[in-house]
Amino acid sequence: MSWTMARRAERMNPSIIREILKITERPGILSLAGGLPAAETFPVEAMREATARVLADTPREALQYAPSEGFGPLREWIAAHLGAQGMDVDSSQVLITNGSQQGLDLAGKLLLDPGSRVAVESPTYLGALQAFAPCEPEFVALECDAEGPVPAALDAAAGARALYVLPNFQNPSGHCIGEARREALVAAARRLALPLIEDDPYGELWYDAPPPRPLAARCPGQVLYLGSFSKVLAPGLRLGYAVAPEPLFPKLLQAKQAADLHTPGFNQRVVHEIVRNGFLREHVPTIRARYKRQRDAMRESLQRYLAGLGCRWVVPSGGMFFWVELPAGIDAMALLPQAVEAGVAFVPGAAFYSGTPRHHTLRLSFVTVTPERIATGIALLAGVLQRALSTTPHLTA
Ligand code: PMP
């Protein structure tokens, strides 16, 4: 039997990261490749108690079909939570999603036609490229520097359906867009009447200072904002949210209904039970303290082992990743099997480009490995790179 699939199926790709993870998560491999939060940060006890309370107090409501918009009290909590970050959000604008990944999928369905343009950072989050690709858009890869999209480059996005942007501790580059750059981007987006999709799963994971206000706080009617509980509670809950401007919300809701009717009401009630009394105010600082130690360990190890080999990176002030540029001419994808052989894994950077990839880049996660193991992993990586450089004499660092 031969099935004829829709054209969009051709644009669906396996996540290279998930494919790589299958190899790199083998026992014995020190993996700096994962994009997972540290499981030690999951609030298991609070989950246990909240689950018991939901099952005791509202078991039938929690197990029944629920509104597509989401659980009202959780939507209100999210609106207030974002209000504290400078966003003026009414709970009627909040749609609860199955992780922010679903927000990306729905945004693609809502905004992109075959051949329409969508602007993205370069590099950008691979999962967004995966979510948008089946809609068959043309990706416009914007020039970025250490602080995100260069405002002057935004003209290339004129006429695009949206710019997808990650202002806080971007996956994969780790960059955080500063105050002045945010203002410049918003001014350019206004001038071009360019809608923004602001993806912000990492904003609360800051280690040096809180990031500047979200873009959605600066030009609210122009931004579809996506948030997530994955990095501050647990990704297995699959709980995220979209904040949509007035004209977008009804269609976003219809897309959500078509996709899955609603996000599990049980999970929403459990999470609301956890967050409603200020749990995150105590919990998130413990995650920050943990990840900051690991970030610092990776910074020191990179300086010690890779600085002399012609590599470059910008120290991320939050999030989960270092983005490393190897000496030009070294292909990180070709280096990976040698690294795995040596016992360490990373994600080659090429996967994160919508257009021409920069092959000499790679992403390192620091959150699931202890500081000691981070040092071991970076030393192993340096050994592999050293060997590659020595067999490619014209590439001496
Ligand atoms: N956006 C970015 C930038 C991410 O890194 C991730 C998770 N890796 C997501 C969205 C999706 O997260 P979730 O669906 O768990 O909220």
Tens digits of per-residue pLDDT, 234-283?
999 999 999 999 999 999 999 999 999 999 999 999 999 999 999 999 99
The ranges assigned to domains in the chain are 9-41+281-390, 44-277
Q: How confident is the model at residue 23 (pLDDT cuts 50, 70, 90)?
A: confident
Average pLDDT of the chain to the nearest whole number: 95
DSSP tally for the chain: helices H, then strands E:
13, 15
- Residue 273 CA to chain centroid, in angstroms? 25
Mean local confidence (pLDDT), 24-29: 80
pLDDT of residue 394: 58
Q: How confident is the model at residue 36 (pLDDT cuts 50, 70, 90)?
A: very high
Which atom of ligand 1 is nearest to 230's Cα? 15
Say how many Å lie between the CA of residue 228 and the centre of ligand 1.
7
Q: How confident is the model at residue 44 (pLDDT cuts 50, 70, 90)?
A: very high
pLDDT of residue 27: 83
- 396 has a pLDDT exceeding 60: no
Which atom of ligand 1 is nearest to 35's Cα? 8
**Beta strand residue intervals within the chain, DSSP E:** 30-31, 94-97, 117-121, 138-142, 144-145, 148-149, 162-165, 196-199, 223-228, 240-243, 312-313, 321-325, 344-345, 347-348, 361-365
Say how many Å lie between the CA of residue 127 and the centre of ligand 1.
7
Token pair in block for residue 184: 């410049």
At the topology level of CATH, where does 44-277 sit?
Aspartate Aminotransferase; domain 2 (3.40.640)
Structure confidence by residue, pLDDT tens digits, 336-389 = 999 999 999 999 999 999 999 999 999 999 999 999 999 999 999 999 999 999
Is 229 close to ligand 1, i.e. is its CB under 6 Å away? no
Percentage of residues in the chain with pLDDT exceeding 90?
91
Nearest CA to ligand 1 atom 8: 35
Looking at domain 9-41+281-390, its CATH class is alpha beta
Percentage of residues in the chain with pLDDT exceeding 70?
98
Is 101 close to ligand 1, i.e. is its CB under 6 Å away? yes
Is 125 close to ligand 1, i.e. is its CB under 6 Å away? yes
DSSP state letters, 177-193: --HHHHHHHHHHHHHHT
Q: Which of 49, 46, 51, 77 is nearest to 266 (CA)?
A: 51
Residue scoring higher pLDDT (15 or 229): 229
Is 99 close to ligand 1, i.e. is its CB under 6 Å away? yes
3-state secondary structure of 378: helix
- 297 has a pLDDT exceeding 60: yes
Q: Which long-range contacts (CB under 8 A, 24 or more apart) does 59-68 make?
A: 61/265, 61/269, 62/265, 62/266, 62/269, 63/265, 63/266, 64/265, 65/261, 65/262, 65/265, 66/262, 66/263, 66/264, 66/265, 66/268, 67/262, 68/253, 68/256, 68/257, 68/261, 68/262
Structure confidence by residue, pLDDT tens digits, 213-228 = 999 999 989 999 999 9
Mean local confidence (pLDDT), 315-327: 98
- 196 has a pLDDT exceeding 90: yes
Is 230 close to ligand 1, i.e. is its CB under 6 Å away? yes
pTM of the model: 0.96
pLDDT of residue 14: 74
pLDDT of residue 369: 96
How are beta strands 117-121 and 94-97 bridged, if at all?
Answer: unpaired
Q: How confident is the model at residue 65 (pLDDT cuts 50, 70, 90)?
A: very high
Is 228 close to ligand 1, i.e. is its CB under 6 Å away? yes
Q: How far apart (Å, rounded) are the C-alpha atoms in residues 174 and 347?
A: 14
Which atom of ligand 1 is nearest to 125's Cα? 3
Structure confidence by residue, pLDDT tens digits, 96-151 = 999 999 999 999 999 999 999 999 999 999 999 999 999 999 999 999 999 999 98
Asked if residues 326 and 350 have their Cβ atoms less than 8 Å apart, the reply is no
- 395 has a pLDDT exceeding 90: no
- 153 has a pLDDT exceeding 80: yes
